[in-house]
Amino acid sequence: MKLTISILEDQPTEAEYLKTLLHKWSSQENCELEIAEYCSGEEFFTQNNTDTYKRFSVFFLDIQMKELSGLDVAKRLRKEGYTGPIIFLTAFREYVFHGYEVHALNYLLKPVKEEPLFLCLNEIANDISNSSYLYRNKQDIISIPYKDIITFSSSLHYIDILTVSEHYCQYATLNNIIEYLPQEFIRIHKSCIVNMAHIYKVTGSTIVLSNRMTTQIGRSYMKSVIAAFTAYSMRFDKA
């Protein structure tokens, strides 16, 4: 397996240290890396275009760069069609809440620690290896990558499965399905399960999803959903 990584970091020592850890992880996991390094958002966008963004498996973005901040870069990447993981590098934990609007995978606090970084990379590698949900109907069995599933929602005795590109309908119940889903899936009300990796923003009781659809958090689920999503956003860095 190969990961193509883009690092935008304006502090050379920070960038070098991150690359050292990345190469250590790749050696342990027998994963090939291709790393492109940029000292600013301006440099990145000068050297790349919308056709080349998609080749990157993951972006590591320093939030506090001089002109274009990491948040500015992430917003432009999302606007121009990049859907892969974005990881912010920051010295300030409070920046986590700004990531909702750009669908950030995670925040790593500086100086980056080996354990949270490796956990983050393992999750990305696992997603790329296509861990999947098996959808069954009378004619077919289809393997759907979990990373592509946005929501499961119930209607009478059927479940609608919404993905980034398709829609499926299955005879099942949410109670049965949620027992077998990965931890990034959370029930937000009695008739809907959401993949937290596809949450762009939470405003009050409204969730904005990666496809720009909105859904509501049930009143009795509110506290658990907010707690779970906050923990998910910071799951690799507990310091």
Are 100 and 216 members of one domain?
no
CATH assignment of the domain containing 33: 3.40.50.2300
From 93, 110, 128, give the residue that closes a domain.
128
**Distance in angstroms (rounded) separating the CA atoms of residues 216 and 148:** 21
pLDDT tens across 64-99, in order? Answer: 888 898 989 998 998 888 878 899 998 766 655 554
Are 124 and 34 members of one domain?
yes
Are 198 and 101 members of one domain?
no
Q: pLDDT at residue 209 above 90?
A: yes
* pLDDT of amino acid 176: 83
Dig out the tokens for 169 from the structure.
């309908």
**Distance in angstroms (rounded) separating the CA atoms of residues 238 and 225:** 19
Are 115 and 194 members of one domain?
no
Q: Which domain holds residue 97?
A: 2-128
Are 76 and 173 members of one domain?
no
Q: What is the mean pLDDT of the chain?
A: 87
Give the closest residue to 101 by CA, choosing from 197, 28, 222, 202.
202
Write the DSSP assignment of the chain as a string of letters.
-EEEEEEE-S-HHHHHHHHHHHHHHHHHHT-EEEEEEESSHHHHHHH--HHHHTT-SEEEEES--SSS-HHHHHHHHHHTT--S-EEEEES-GGGGGGGGGGT--EEEESSPPHHHHHHHHHHHHHHHTT-EEEEE-SS-EEEEEGGGEEEEEEETTEEEEEESS-EEEEE--HHHHHTTS-TTEEEEETTEEEEGGGEEEEETTEEEETTS-EEE--GGGHHHHHHHHHHHHTTT---
From 110, 128, 146, give the residue that closes a domain.
128
Are 8 and 123 members of one domain?
yes
**Distance in angstroms (rounded) separating the CA atoms of residues 196 and 99:** 13
* pLDDT of amino acid 103: 63
In a domain, 206, yes or no: yes
CATH assignment of the domain containing 196: 2.40.50.1020
Residue 167 banded pLDDT, cuts 50, 70, 90: very high
* pLDDT of amino acid 214: 95
In a domain, 210, yes or no: yes
